[in-house]
Amino acid sequence: MATVRIANLSKTYGNGKSAVEALVGVDLSIGDGEFFVVLGPSGAGKTTVLKSVAGLVDVEAGDVEIAGVSMEGVEPYHRNVAMAFESYALYPQKTVFDNLASPLRSGRTGRYTAQQQQQRIEAVTTTLGIDHLLKRFPRELSNGQRQRVALGRVLVRPADVYLLDEPLSHLDAKLRAQMRAELKQLGDMSNTTSLYVTHDYQEALALGNRIAVLRAGRVVQVGTPEEIWRRPVDTFVAKALGQPEINLFDVTAGQGALRGAGGDLSVPVPRHLDLPEGRARIGIRPRDLQLGPGGPGTLSFRGRVSLAERLGRLMEFSVDVGPQGGSERVIVVADSDAGAREGDVVDLHLSLENVHVFAPA
Ligand code: ADP
Ligand code: MG
């Protein structure tokens, strides 16, 4: 267990015309025992953050500290970190047990007695649900089982910090959800410090004690899942946190209200915001909208259903709002269809506290 401090970290790959600024002035402080998630789209610099902590890339500026000790000039081999990459290999000719034991039989953490190996392997495989597979060979495993064994190989070794690079990305949806729950359990139980990278917002919200949102090499927001979900700092963060994406409208702020969509949207300016008169954007999550007229304390408006689709237990509607039911489209995800069909004019409402206000585009 250890803290990790990343200070003013910058990394550029290549040079001249082909230079790519992968990280620009990244600051992160990860607490002892924290499960810290870095969320961002592909190319945002997530893997580069992990590699910098592991010492696998040369950074041109900034510092990494593990357990209060600067890692400047410290070789990867001498950093007590365990890193799992997106795709990882197993020894095909070794059983699952021997695959898991090999990190304990070599390397800088020293050698473990047979009994110690047994104990660590048992703990990890029970949590990952692979304790019944110890005698099998990799070829006798499903893809999901193989991925768990590979993850087990990383977790079995004691380390100050575990660096996990999208370890669930190659699993199908069902297995991913299951493994997410297991990882959550592992994180809660083990009290180890983990830096976990993903492009999947659901994973980030479910697993992170805290989340940093990374955009083009810069940290745009750090907070608990609750904070990031409730108060995304900008439309990039808001859009990263939902599927279907948050609805965004350009509005005009004036006389204590926000107006848009040809006047059909009229929202009192929330008290916590100090908005100048002029343009702004508001964001409404599809799941926060409800069909039917709203009461006091809600924002309500009307529109015409242009598309109604069933998504499992939920319904997704596209509703055209604005003058003559036309200028803007909102996506609504509702528990029931409320009898609404394509072509119907419907009332929509949401609680005012679920209206997010952002700077103009
Ligand atoms: P992520 O893991 O979020 O997808 P990466 O850290 O892998 O992002 O990459 C960040 C940026 O740096 C991307 O634009 C990527 O193309 C670039 N990059 C990563 N590794 C290299 C490399 N070895 N050489 C050149 N460019 C690289
Ligand atoms: Mg990556």
ipTM value: 0.99
Please, which residues have CB within 8 angstroms of residue 257's CB and are 6 or more apart in sequence?
Answer: 266, 267, 268, 269
Structure tokens at 104: 């304990």
Q: Give the separation between CA 97 and CA 148, rounded to whole angstroms.
A: 13
In this prediction, residues 307-324 reach a mean pLDDT of 86
In this prediction, residues 159-167 reach a mean pLDDT of 90
Nearest CA to ligand 1 atom 25: 13
φ, ψ of residue 289 to 5 degrees: the values are -85, 140
CA 86 to centroid of ligand 2, rounded, Å: 7
In this prediction, residues 41-69 reach a mean pLDDT of 95
Average pLDDT, the chain: 87
DSSP string, 155-171: HTS--SEEEEESTTTTS
Say if residue 276's pLDDT is above 70: no
Query: Sign (positive/negative) of CA torsion 130, 133, 137, 139?
Result: negative
List Cα–Cα distances, 110 to 140, 156, 157, 158, 201, in angstroms: 30, 13, 10, 10, 37
Q: What would the CATH number be for the domain defined by 4-240?
A: 3.40.50.300
In this prediction, residues 204-229 reach a mean pLDDT of 96
Whether residue 36 contacts residue 212, with contact meaning beta carbons closer than 8 Å, is answered with: yes
Classify 247-358 by CATH class: mainly beta
Q: Where are the domains of the chain?
A: 4-240, 247-358
Residue 325's pLDDT band (boundaries 50, 70, 90)? very low
Q: Is 49 in the pocket of ligand 1 (CB under 6 A)?
A: no
Q: Which atom of ligand 1 is nearest to the CA of 197?
A: 2
HEC per residue, 25-41: EEEEEECCCCEEEEECC
